[in-house]
Structure 1
């Protein structure tokens, strides 16, 4: 089985940072791909909610539980 990163969430930078902190608390390594900031630095536009969060596929099941709970919390 190969180890690869899988996208588990996309949203605004502040929402992704909150989720990243929760994953860090559970010792789940994640990567953030901020297309908005990259576009801004390059001099063109991108949607503000274009920040993506990736985890390793071996952590996917545990991470999805955290993402589901987080989405319920922010949507309530």
Structure 2
């Protein structure tokens, strides 16, 4: 089975950081793609909600439980 990373969440860096903490606490490995910081370093702008969080395709089901609970929490 080929492993690849699947995007499970995107938002501001603050929201992504909160989800990062949940995933770390539950031993789910992830990658962050921060286009905001990359754009700033390159000298141009981008949308503020351009931070993306990816997990391995083998961890998607486990991670989605935390993502859905997190979305409910931040939207309440």
The answer to whether the superposition gives a TM-score over 0.5 is yes
Q: Deviations over 1:2-26 (max 9, x none)?
A: 0110000000000000001000000
- SS of 1:53's partner is strand
Runs of 4+ in structure 1 over 3 Å off: none
Residue 41 of structure 1: aligned partner: 41
Q: How many residues align?
A: 76
TM-score normalised according to structure 2 size: 0.99
TM-score normalised according to structure 1 size: 0.99
1:15 lines up with 2:15 in the alignment: yes
Residue 69 of structure 2: aligned partner: 69
Instruction: Give the superposed CA RMSD.
Output: 0.4
Structure 1 alignment gaps of length 5 or more: none
